[in-house]
Chain A
Amino acid sequence: MDISEAPAVNSRRRGNPVSRILSSIRDGNGFDILLVAAPLVFLVLLAGLPLIYNVLMSFQQVDMFTLGAWIRPFAGFDNYISVISQPEFPLVVRNTIIFVVGSMAGQFVLGFALALFFAQNFPGAATIRGLFLVSWVMPGLVVGAIWSWILAGDFGVLNAILRSLGLIEAAIFWKSDPNFSIWAVTIANIWLGLAFNMLLLSVGLAAIPKELYEAAALDGANAWKRFLTITLPMMRPTIGAVLSLGLIGTLQQFDLFPAITEGGPANSSTVAQYWAWQMSFTLYDFARGATISVMMFVLVLFASILYVRSTRSEVRG
């Protein structure tokens, strides 16, 4: 480089700070920083701050008089102890486990079965698969209302079908029988999440090269062995992602509860997220509502870590 040129370049760089920033945004690092900063500001304002505020509240005494304040009397773990010692706590935990495990298992198994079914090349496969997305497009409250009719004890379609198949003798009161109420919401939620599971798993299946199955067939593997030794291991990252997203989605599911059972009867279908809402917005006990949310947040955080790890191995191939 010509040495005599260097000072000139320097002085040009030093020039007007505003124009320097502008030119950096046009074609320098500034543009990259701008792109990262915009979503970061959004996340901090709309997700980060509420989250921190929620965690903060769970360690404070909150009543109607201190509702507007940031700084409130410190409560230590009192709120946590109080939540755990609530008489309905074991029931809510049990319901949450049934709802989460039942929904995830149902969504995953049925979703995988449907994904495998539509991966077979038959006329109309893609079209029919597309129609399944209807369940994903519909608002949870609408789905809840429809399932509420389907599950109705006296005039519901489900009872009519079960009875005509001879599977039950008397009508099951899905929504009002404490033995069935949590299952009523779980069934509706399985239907609601089915399309999402099927879609993600279909994408994973489509990414497996056809030749691997051909090679395996020539190596002597029958359909079941091909599924076990090729499909499942190749789908591992996808399955990890689907299950983690399923857990998060199920713990977030709220709409179905007010639409179908409202947590009843006698809390027999109350799950953690519905309980948290009840605490905060019907009993106005914001501290305990926040505490339940934080407990769930830890669970979701755990699932998110699993999800991130499984997608990372997807990139690595």
Chain B
Amino acid sequence: MSNVQIELTGVDKHYGQFHALKDINLSIEKGTFVALVGPSGCGKSTLLRSLAGLETITGGTMKIAGEVMNDVPPRKRDVAMVFQSYALYPHMRVAENLTYSLRLKGTPKEQALAAAEEVARTTGLSHLLGRFPRELSGGQRQRVAMGRAIIRHPKAFLFDEPLSNLDAALRVHMRKEIRALHDRLGATSVYVTHDQVEAMTMADRVVVMRDGVIEQEGAPLELYDKPASRFVAGFIGSPAMNFVPAMISEDGQAVLLDLPDAPRLPIGRALEPGRRVSAGLRPEHLTVTNAETAALRLPVGVVESTGSMTYISSGTDPEITVVIHGRSPLSAGEVMGLTIAPENVHLFDVESERVI
């Protein structure tokens, strides 16, 4: 038996004229945590809602646990969803919220209540079972929403930006909690977020979407190290990658940046001389060295320090941002020298924006 829990083949979704999902192919193995990430309007939520059955797809096949689900109504798909607004039933107490699905199935009362107590223990809700949702804090509501999903032992968990209504500190905490829960249950999870940090830290696989298309899919660090397109390169990583228009040198071994003095960076391979490219340099891959000898010499624009990290922006157009650990003696107006390892210079085609 194959280990694929969710399989999408050529999935299309149209809203009238609008093509929301374009030929989506994706297979998700049992037990993996997959993050769908992308800017708003990229189709990630539509894809998730299609998995839940809340949207019907217009083309392709969608399989969950080997069964074709295209026309199966949500209640028969056996998937659980955690909504951004939590969608707790406001007229039911926490215990009733948790046991709602069990009661619909006709589970005996004591058995349902025992299950609710068990779930409440794992989610830290034991003392709140008698409360109404309006009497809970944001984090507690979030836990009830998760508990409601867990109690069903569904074939897949679907998360629709579940942390975006929480404050920053709680969000970081819940991130770990959701991931720990996923591991403990051995669940298959699909997690939609617009926050690439959430996607990178929580997921086994990250799917980057844009305009209804999967731009790239892979392990988080794979996306970071080998972005397939300029879009992925710019989306993954914080602060974002610097992009500089550039040209391949006459010997094909280096790239000449469109900056004052046309600095030359070796690329460690040979490319067609004179080709126009876009060079991507991650802020954390640039290191500050002796300004006299460095290949890349830039005026310092702004220096911002958080104590542990220092962000230096060049006063050039396009602006180059550098991140260094610790502090920097540099100040605005000085000249800094920068180096970068050849393997860290990402090159993208100007037309197709794909990696070269």
Contact = CB atoms under 8 A, between A and B. Distances in A.
A218 B134 contact: no
B89 A221 contact: no
A15 interface: no
Interface residues of B, number: 23
4 A-B pairs closest in CB distance? A211-B87, A219-B101, A215-B87, A217-B74
Contacts of A234: 90-91
Contacts of A225: 104
B104 A219 contact: yes
Contacts of A233: 91
Interface in B83-121: 83, 85, 87, 89-91, 100-101, 104-105
Interface of B: 52-54, 73-75, 77, 79-81, 83, 85, 87, 89-91, 100-101, 104-105, 134, 148, 152
12 contacts: A212-B90, A214-B54, A215-B83, A216-B89, A217-B75, A218-B54, A218-B80, A219-B75, A219-B80, A219-B148, A229-B89, A233-B91
Given A230-B89, A234-B90, A220 B54 contact: no
Contacts of A220: 75, 101, 104-105
Question: Dominant SS at the A interface?
Answer: helix
Contacts, number: 60
B76 to A, nearest CB: 8
A73 interface: no
Contacts of B90: 212, 234, 317
A169 B85 CA distance: 59
Interface residues of A, number: 19
A214 B89 CA distance: 11
A229 to B, nearest CB: 7
A218 B73 CA distance: 9
Nearest to A226: B75
A233 to B, nearest CB: 4
B39 to A, nearest CB: 23
A222 interface: yes
Nearest to B81: A218
Contact of A212 (B73, B87, B104): B87
